[in-house]
Amino acid sequence: MGLIERALVCSRVVAVSESQLRVVVADDNDAMRQAIADLIGSADDLEVVGMGRNVEETLDLVASLTPDVVVTDVWMPGGGGAAVSEGVKRIGGVRGVVAISASSIRGTKEAVLAAGASAFLLKDTADKDLVRVIREVAESPRSAILETRTTEVVAVRVVDRFGAIFGWDAGAEALYGWTADEVLERTVGDFVVGPWTLDVSAEMMEVLSLGRTWEGDFTHSRKDRALIKVHGIYVPVIVFGVVQCIVAITYQIG
């Protein structure tokens, strides 16, 4: 029985023991959340100790229960799996986060991994892989077990709501031509804003301010002034009370 099908049947109670790995499950869909919990609970060495319906509730559970692993839906109110991953890092004491998603929208995997998740799975494969991945994450924290289905390259940057750059990885350096030393703490508009980008900035910021992910296609500029076509997924997170945005830009090699 697959994970989607499990969401359509009744849950069952599974006995737990002291030696089990403790897991918190987060999903805003009640049936799916219970299906994930049932799947995890079917393993003798795993115990679901709490279930959250949104980011805030999930992080409260993590702080109070200190689980070994958190399993979170990627698309969830309050910033989704990226916000959960960031919050878990701040709280500490958790071995890893497994992010799961019903869709493989470009950049989704990279955004949640950049936020601190240890693994990414699609829900249509979670039925056979989730229990194994939870065990692997618990044994090897931040192992970055990435389910890959694309040949695209990804560049990740982190900006605040004013466009100041706080994160700039090797992929961003390779794509745009600027190094992290050249761009950190300066504004993204000085470097990568290109045609059409400003036309959607108001829409983008409105969506991000609601704690929702925004994505779209852009024409950006490189350091050498060449224009490049990219696809971006913008994930809002709160870091020490400051709203920031993790941007995963996907682009084709060559």
pLDDT digits (tens, 9 = 90+) for 29-70: 888 899 999 999 999 999 999 999 999 999 999 999 999 999
Of 116, 146, 176, which residue constitutes the final position of a domain? 146
For residues 137 and 193, state if they share a domain.
no
How many domains would you assign to the chain? 2
For residues 222 and 162, state if they share a domain.
yes
For residues 109 and 22, state if they share a domain.
yes
pTM of the predicted model, to two decimals? 0.56
Cα 84 to its chain centre, rounded Å, is 8
Integer Cα distance of 245 and 250 in angstroms: 16
* Structural domain containing residue 183: 153-251
Residue 203 has pLDDT above 80, yes or no: no
For residues 160 and 133, state if they share a domain.
no
The mean predicted confidence, pLDDT, of the chain is 77
pLDDT tens track for 145-158: 444 333 345 677 77
**Confidence class of residue 141 from pLDDT cuts 50, 70 and 90?**
low
For residues 141 and 162, state if they share a domain.
no
Give me 242's structure tokens. 């400051």
Q: Give the CATH number for residue 44.
A: 3.40.50.2300
**Confidence class of residue 121 from pLDDT cuts 50, 70 and 90?**
confident
For residues 166 and 128, state if they share a domain.
no
- Tell me the residue ranges of DSSP E strands in 3-152: 21-26, 46-52, 69-73, 96-101, 119-122, 145-146
CA angle 144, 149, 152 (to 5 degrees): 90
Give me 79's structure tokens. 């910033």
Q: Give the CATH number for residue 200.
A: 3.30.450.20
For residues 176 and 208, state if they share a domain.
yes
Q: Higher pLDDT residue, 123 or 143?
A: 123
Integer Cα distance of 25 and 11 in angstroms: 14
For residues 185 and 121, state if they share a domain.
no
For residues 141 and 243, state if they share a domain.
no
Q: Higher pLDDT residue, 79 or 237?
A: 79
Contact 188, 195 (CB under 8 A): no
Cα 126 to its chain centre, rounded Å, is 16
How far separated are the first and last CA of the chain, in Å rounded?
A: 42
Residue 239 has pLDDT above 60, yes or no: no
What are the φ and ψ backbone dihedral angles of 73, each rounded to 5 degrees? -70, 145
Integer Cα distance of 153 and 109 in angstroms: 12
Average pLDDT over residues 161-189: 82
Choose from 67-76, 109-118, 170-179 the range with maximum mean pLDDT.
67-76
For residues 132 and 174, state if they share a domain.
no
Residue 144 has pLDDT above 50, yes or no: no
For residues 139 and 169, state if they share a domain.
no
Helix (H, G, I), strand (E, B) or coil at 75: coil
